[in-house]
C-alpha cells in the first residue's frame, strides 16, 4: 500500500451532528484517508442553503485537521446566491463551492451562473461540479463554462461517469483550468486521463458520506492500482487537491 497522504476530494456529510462527524472520521481513518473535502448531502434540495452552509462549516470546525468544507448555493436565488458564496468563504472559512445541477435543477447556462463562477474565482476558491449526468451536467457543458471563465478552477466531480468520460478528457485537454476527479469513473478512464493529462490534473475522490463510507475502498483501490510512479500517485491521492486549495504545508 502506498504511504502517500490521502485526501478525498469528493465527500458529503448528511448528519451534521458531532457523532456523525466522529463516526465519519473513524471510517475515513480506517481506510487510510487523512482529510476530506465535504459538501452537503441533503442541502442541495434546500431553498435556504445558507443554514446548511452554517451547519456544515460548524461540523467541520470540530475537526479542521480532517474536514475541508465546500459550500453550496443555488443560481435560482440570483444575487443572493453570489453574496451567500462570499459569506461562506469569507465569514465561514469554506474552501470551495459545490454545485449539483441535476439536484439543484439548474442548467449551467443559467443567467446567474456567470456571476457565481466569477465570484468563486475572485475569492480564489475552486468550483466542484457534479457531472456526467445528462441533460443538466455533461462534462462538455461544464467545460464550456470553464472556457468562458479561464480564471476559475473547475473540478469535474465524476469526470463524466461511465458514459461521458471521453468528453471529460477531451474538455480537460483543451482547458488547463479543468481538474478531473476519479469518483465513480471507470478504471480505464482513470488510466487514460493520467496518460493524456498527466498526474497533476487528476484528483482522487469517492463520493463517500458519513452514511455511506464504504465506497471509499473501491474508488481508492482504483487509484492505487494505477501503474504509475509513487510520486505521481501521491499527487493524485492528495497533493493535487491540497495544492489547489492552498493547503500544502
Partner 1 sequence: MANRMSLDREGGRWGVVDGHCHLGAAGEEPARSELLSEMDARGVDRAVICPTERYIAVYNREGNDYIMEAVRSHPRRFIGFATVNPWYGDGAIEELERSIRSGLKGLKLHPFLQGFHLTHEVARPIVEACAALGIPVYVHTGTPISSMPFQLAELARGFPEVPFIMGHMGHSDFWRDTVPAASRSENIYLETSLVAVSLIRNAFERLGAGRLIFGSDVPRSSLACELEKVRAIEMSEEERRKVFGENLLSLLDRR
- Minimum CB separation of residue 57 from partner 1 in Å reads 26
Give me the DSSP letters along 158-203.
Answer: STTTTTSHHHHHHHHHH-TTEEEE-TT--HHHHHHHHHHH-GGGEE
Residues contacting partner 1: total by CB under 8 A: 20
Give the Cα separation of 7 and 73 in Å (integer): 24
Closer of 152 and 190 to partner 1 (Cβ): 190
**For the purposes of burial, counting CB atoms within 10 Å of the CB of 161, is it exposed (0-12), middle (13-18) or buried (19 or more)?**
buried
Q: Verify binding: residue 187, partner 1, rule CB under 8 A.
A: yes
Q: Verify binding: residue 2, partner 1, rule CB under 8 A.
A: no
- Minimum CB separation of residue 187 from partner 1 in Å reads 5
> If residue 10 lies in a helix (H) or strand (E), which one and from where to where?
strand 7-13
Which residues in 166-185 contact partner 1 (CB under 8 A)?
184
Residue from 15, 32, 78, 186 touching partner 1 (CB under 8 A): that is 186
Which residues in 74-93 contact partner 1 (CB under 8 A)?
none
Which residues in 148-167 contact partner 1 (CB under 8 A)?
158, 161-163
- Minimum CB separation of residue 10 from partner 1 in Å reads 13
Give the Cα separation of 52 and 208 in Å (integer): 18
- Minimum CB separation of residue 236 from partner 1 in Å reads 15
Which residues in 200-229 contact partner 1 (CB under 8 A)?
207, 212, 214-215, 217-218, 221-222, 225
Give the Cα separation of 198 and 192 in Å (integer): 9
Q: Which three cell numbers stand for residue 225?
A: 492500482
b vs e for 232-242, b when ≥16 Cβ sit within 10 Å of the residue's Cβ?
bbbbbbbbbbb
Residue from 133, 147, 197, 232 touching partner 1 (CB under 8 A): that is 133
Closer of 122 and 211 to partner 1 (Cβ): 211
Residue from 69, 126, 132, 205 touching partner 1 (CB under 8 A): that is 132
**For the purposes of burial, counting CB atoms within 10 Å of the CB of 137, is it exposed (0-12), middle (13-18) or buried (19 or more)?**
buried
CB 95 within 8 A of CB 57: no
Closer of 18 and 225 to partner 1 (Cβ): 225
Which positions touch partner 1 (CB under 8 A)? 132-134, 158, 161-163, 184, 186-188, 207, 212, 214-215, 217-218, 221-222, 225
Amino acid at each position: 500500500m502506498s504511504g502517500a497522504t490521502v485526501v478525498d476530494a469528493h465527500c458529503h456529510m448528511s448528519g451534521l451532528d458531532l457523532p456523525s462527524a466522529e463516526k465519519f472520521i473513524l471510517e475515513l481513518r480506517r481506510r487510510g484517508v487523512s482529510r476530506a473535502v465535504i459538501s452537503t448531502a441533503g442541502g442541495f434540495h434546500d431553498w435556504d442553503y445558507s443554514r446548511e452552509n452554517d451547519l456544515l462549516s460548524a461540523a467541520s470546525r470540530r475537526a479542521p485537521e480532517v474536514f475541508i468544507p465546500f459550500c453550496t448555493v443555488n443560481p435560482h436565488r440570483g444575487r443572493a446566491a453570489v453574496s451567500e458564496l462570499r459569506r461562506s468563504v469569507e465569514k465561514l472559512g469554506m474552501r470551495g463551492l459545490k454545485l449539483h445541477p441535476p439536484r439543484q435543477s439548474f442548467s449551467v447556462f443559467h443567467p446567474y451562473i456567470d456571476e457565481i463562477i466569477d465570484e468563486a474565482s475572485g475569492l480564489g476558491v475552486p468550483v466542484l461540479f457534479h457531472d456526467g449526468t445528462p441533460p443538466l451536467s455533461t462534462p462538455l457543458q461544464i467545460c464550456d463554462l470553464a472556457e468562458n471563465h479561464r480564471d476559475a478552477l473547475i473540478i469535474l466531480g465524476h469526470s463524466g461517469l461511465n458514459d461521458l468520460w471521453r468528453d471529460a478528457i477531451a474538455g480537460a485537454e483543451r482547458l488547463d483550468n479543468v481538474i478531473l476527479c476519479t469518483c465513480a469513473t471507470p478504471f480505464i478512464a482513470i488510466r487514460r486521463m493520467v496518460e493524456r493529462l498527466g498526474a497533476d490534473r487528476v484528483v482522487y475522490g469517492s463520493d463517500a458520506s458519513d452514511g455511506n463510507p464504504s465506497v471509499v475502498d473501491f474508488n481508492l483501490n482504483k487509484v492505487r492500482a494505477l501503474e504509475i510512479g509513487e510520486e505521481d500517485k501521491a499527487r493524485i491521492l492528495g497533493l493535487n487537491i491540497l495544492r489547489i486549495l492552498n493547503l500544502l504545508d
